[in-house]
Structure 1
Amino acid sequence: MTGQRQGRWLALYYALYFSALGAFMPYWGPYLQQQGQTALEIGILTATIQATKVLAPNIWGLMAQRWGLGRIVPAAALATALGFLALSWAHDFFSIFLITIGFSFFWAATLPLVDITTLEWAERRGAAYGRIRLWGSIGFILLALGMGWLIARWGMAVFLPVVAVFLLAAWWSSRYLPFAAAGAPPAVPRPALRQELRRGDLLFFLAACALEQASHGPYYAFYSIYVGDHGLGSAAVGLLWGFAVLCEVLFFALGERIIRRVGLHRVLYASFLLTALRWTVIGLWPDLSWIIAVQTLHAASYGAFHLAAVHWVYQRFPALLRARGQALYASAAYGLGGALGALGSGWAWQEMGGPGTFYAAAALSLLGTFLLVAALRPGHAKSGAGHGVS
């Protein structure tokens, strides 16, 4: 398979994977609300999806190291789609909870492993990871918009089948990805992961990422409900999510160039501070004009954060541990951080209301900034990490 064709398969996988996520994420909260779940239960179920990312990426990363990415990723992708379909027969909290644990455990397996494949493919080809990854964001936009229109027309009954179709399509495309390039020969001795975990910069960095993503908890679990309470319909909700991810796409297209020009550390600091600003504005001014304007900051709170973080981790770990390093990052940021954020937002929403919950989210991102300073201070910086994009 030629390098250009490999790049197309990677782009297609991201487009399908994030199309499923775009159909899922903005409407998971409203779907659960329609199923009769309370705000706390919505927070718990959203936290469950994030909690599986604490252990699952590391478990799957270890399995892929032993049996190969080409076996693990397609199997996990198929199990995700089949597990998600089981939600059709679940209506009470306990049943939804058990099924959510199942499908999200497999869903958490794929993205970090495909990310390391793409990063290594891009390095060999002299290509940009962001230019491949942006197709995922485009897929997210199209389905966030499309689902809003479909739900407005036919109701929440379309939620499960549409998401399942794209999960199945992602499984199909995963069978053609250039996984062989991401593995190392079994005979090559691997450095010990525990040696890396003893370094303070890594622990501070993972903790900072966890807090930054925890601050997104109210956004992922309750944003659609929040703006709906201020008079916006499902189609408008889809437009808001789509517009935010469009801003993310623009950063992915230009991000590596920006990182090379201003430095990886500055991009990371800016992403944390602008995330705090984003949640503060949503809490203070929930009217339409401010809500639209502040969605542009998704380019920072997700786009800049994720692009800079995956490059920092890629540079920070030796080559034979990069897959495990990306799994650790995913576990800390999207697993532990995402779970705590979703669970905490469910409690805060009931006790503090919408504005108070977003103020608390801003405080989490600011706290993460202090930990980031500790991680990136000169005495902790590892050679090559933080000075640009390799």
Structure 2
Amino acid sequence: MTGQRQGRWLALYYALYFSALGAFMPYWGPYLQQQGLTALEIGILTATIQATKVLAPNIWGLMALRWGLGRIVPGAALATALGFLALLWAHDFFSIFLITIAFSFFWAATLPLVDITTMEWAERSGAAYGRIRLWGSIGFILLALGMGWLIASGGMAVFLPVIVVFLLAAWWSSRYLPFAAGGTATAVPQAALRNELRRGDLLFFFAACILEQASHGPYYAFYSIYVGDHGQGSMAVGFLWGFAVLCEVLFFAVGEGVIRRLGLKTVLYASFLLTALRWGVIGLWPDLPWIVAVQSLHAASYGAFHLAAVHWVYQRFPTSLRARGLALYASAAYGLGGAMGALAGGWAWQKLGGPETFYAAAALSLLGTVLLLVALRPGYANWERVRVSLEKARR
């Protein structure tokens, strides 16, 4: 298979995977609300999806070393589609909870493993990861908009079947991805990974990423409900999500050039600060035109953050540990951070209300900026130095 053809299969997989995600994310909260679930239960279910990303990518990464990506990714993709299909027969919190654990465990397997495949392919081919990844964002936009129209026409009955169709298509395309023979990389001693994880810059960086993604919890779980409460219908909800991801697409198209020009540090700092601004504006001014304008900041809160973070982690780990490093990043940021944000967001939404919950999200991102400053400070490149400096400070 030629390099150009391999790139097309990767782009197609991202487009189909994120099409399913674009149909899912804007309407998961409203779908659960229609099932009669409370805000706290919606927060728990959203947190469950994120929580599986803490362990699942690492478990699947280890399995891929043994059986190869060519088996793991298609198998997990098919199991995800079947899990969503099972939701058609689940209507109470407990049954939805159990099925959500199952499908999200398999869903969490695929993206980090495809990401490392794409990064390795891009390095071999002299291509840009962002130019492939942007096709996922295009798919997300089309389905976020399309699902809004379908729901407006046919109601929530179309929600699950559409997602299943795209997940099955993603499974089909995953069989043709340019996986490395035998897995992502050869097994490496655990001591090598432990040595990397003792370094302070890495720990503070992961902690900052956790907070940045935790700040997204109220957005992913309740944004569609929030704007609906302020007079917007399903078509408007789809437009708002689609517009946000369009801005993300534009950043992915030029992101590598922006990083080269401004540097990873500047892009990371800007993404954290603009994320805080985004949540603050949503909390203060939830009506048009502010709520449209602020969606453009998704280019920073997700696009710039993810692209810069993936490059930082990829460069930070030695070659033999890059797959594990990206899996750990996904587990920490999107798993632990996402779960914390969704769970805390569900509690805050029920106890405090929508605007106050978004103010708290803005504060989380600002706190993450402080940790990022520590992580990227040259003097804090080793955890042992941090420990010694803290001991001296106590004296």
Is the TM value for this pair above 0.5? Answer: yes
Q: Given the two structures, how large is their TM-score scaled by the length of structure 1?
A: 0.96
Q: Which runs of 5+ in 2 are unaligned?
A: 383-395
How far has the Cα of 1:287 moved from its partner?
1.1
Q: Is residue 117–residue 182 contact of structure 1 (8 Å, CA) maintained in 2?
A: no
Q: Is residue 120–residue 182 contact of structure 1 (8 Å, CA) maintained in 2?
A: no
How far has the Cα of 1:234 moved from its partner?
0.1
Q: Is residue 14–residue 133 contact of structure 1 (8 Å, CA) maintained in 2?
A: yes
Distance (Å, rounded) in 2 between the aligned partners of 1:374 and 1:99: 40
**Secondary structure of the structure 2 residue equivalent to 1:132:** helix
Please give the per-residue CA displacement for 1:105-150, whole angstroms capped at 9, x wherever unaligned. 0000000010011011111111100000000000000000000000
Distance 1:184 1:252, change over 3 A: closer
Distance (Å, rounded) in 1 between the aligned partners of 2:165 and 2:380: 46
Q: How does 1:174-323 map to 2 (within 5 A)?
A: 174-180=174-180, 183=183, 186=186, 192-323=192-323
Amino acid at match of 1:22: G
User: After TM superposition, where is structure 1 displaced by more than 2 Å over at least 4 residues in a row?
Assistant: 181-192, 379-382
Residue 95 of structure 1: aligned partner? 95
Distance (Å, rounded) in 2 between the aligned partners of 1:21 and 1:64: 24
Q: Given the two structures, how large is their TM-score scaled by the length of structure 2?
A: 0.95
**Secondary structure of the structure 2 residue equivalent to 1:91:** coil
Q: Is residue 209–residue 332 contact of structure 1 (8 Å, CA) maintained in 2?
A: yes
Q: How does 1:356-371 map to 2 (within 5 A)?
A: 356-371=356-371
**Secondary structure of the structure 2 residue equivalent to 1:179:** coil
Residue 172 of structure 1: aligned partner? 172
How far has the Cα of 1:187 moved from its partner?
8.1
Distance 1:181 1:363, change over 3 A: farther
Please give the per-residue CA displacement for 1:369-390, whole angstroms capped at 9, x wherever unaligned. 11111111012459xxxxxxxx
Residue 123 of structure 1: aligned partner? 123
Amino acid at match of 1:366: L
How far has the Cα of 1:183 moved from its partner?
3.9
Distance 1:210 1:189, change over 3 A: closer
How far has the Cα of 1:220 moved from its partner?
0.3
57-66 or 25-34: bigger deviation: 57-66
Distance (Å, rounded) in 2 between the aligned partners of 1:315 and 1:75: 30
Distance (Å, rounded) in 1 between the aligned partners of 2:187 and 2:128: 30
Q: How does 1:123-142 map to 2 (within 5 A)?
A: 123-142=123-142
Residue 392 of structure 2: aligned partner? none
Distance 1:187 1:161, change over 3 A: closer
Distance (Å, rounded) in 2 between the aligned partners of 1:381 and 1:120: 26
Q: Is residue 117–residue 184 contact of structure 2 (8 Å, CA) maintained in 1?
A: no
Q: Which runs of 5+ in 1 are unaligned?
A: 383-390
Distance (Å, rounded) in 1 between the aligned partners of 2:62 and 2:272: 30
Q: Is residue 122–residue 128 contact of structure 1 (8 Å, CA) maintained in 2?
A: yes
**Count of matched residue positions in the alignment of Structure 1 and Structure 2:** 382
Distance (Å, rounded) in 1 between the aligned partners of 2:117 and 2:105: 20
User: What is the root-mean-square deviation of aligned Cα atoms in Å?
Assistant: 1.4
Amino acid at match of 1:218: P
Distance 1:311 1:381, change over 3 A: farther
Residue 388 of structure 1: aligned partner? none
Identity of aligned residues (%): 88
Q: Is residue 217–residue 341 contact of structure 1 (8 Å, CA) maintained in 2?
A: yes
Please give the per-residue CA displacement for 1:195-234, whole angstroms capped at 9, x wherever unaligned. 1111111111111101000000110000000000010000
